[in-house]
Amino acid sequence: MEIPLPINDYIYSMKKLLLLLPVLLTSFFLKAQTDSSSHKLIFFDDFNNNQNNWTITGNKHANGRIDSGFYYLTAEGRAYGDAQEIKIDTRKDFEIEARIKISHGNAEHKAYYSMLFWGRDGMESYYFTFAKDGFASIEVCDGKNQSSCTTKSGSLQKSALNPDDFNTYTIRKTGHSYSFLINGTLFYEMPFAPFFGNLIGIGAGRNVSLVIDYLKVSYL
């Protein structure tokens, strides 16, 4: 869906071990294809195919492709995002996570930031923003232009992200609070706020190219 944007016991005989081996391997591969944690998975895409219909053709605003387990997204001229409708029972604790690399584009956060967004409906959305200069922020937007976005107090700050490699961005809701993490390090906290809608996605900043490894949503 196009979105416009501002994981010994040796008393057994060898025969028994060989009989168990296919079962163990099947269990291992099933876990690897879903979630390696004990969390209850709601949505997971590691881009081994395009079963979720991400943007993979070029248009005047963006180019996208899926190749070798990665989703490549480039915004042309203006910011551009792609999303999935993922219904979350927000009364429960949950987590939204993506592993993303900024492969090309202006490093300045102010005018060229990219984002992991959630709770979106129309132009109303929450943004976890990031850029190659290391700055990140949390924003709430209710319109198409940057002027319609409000940066949460104290959230615009230099972060621990690696500008030249993949970084893991995590939005974690527990109780009545949100925690935002970058590569497992706490970045910001704020009270939980109700969703506007069910869209969750990733946006590339103006003339910025992203490589996305996975997008995962789960209950805690």
Q: What is the pLDDT of residues 16-66, one digit of tens each?
A: 434 444 444 444 443 444 344 568 999 999 999 999 999 887 788 899 999
User: Mapped to the 3 state alphabet, what secondary structure does the chain carry?
Assistant: CEEECCCCCCCCCHHHHHHHHHHHHHHHHHHHHCCCCCCEEEEEECCCCCCCCCCCCCCCCEEEEEECCEEEEEECCCCEEEEEECCCCCCCCEEEEEEEEEEECCCCHHHHCEEEEEEEECCEEEEEEECCCCEEEEEEEECCCHHHEEECCCCCEECCCCCCCCEEEEEEEECCEEEEEECCEEEEEEECCCCCCCEEEEEECCCCEEEEEEEEEEEC
Architecture in CATH of 2-6+38-219? Sandwich (2.60)
Q: Which of 58-67, 84-93, 101-110, 137-146 has the lowest mean pLDDT?
A: 137-146
pTM (predicted TM-score): 0.82
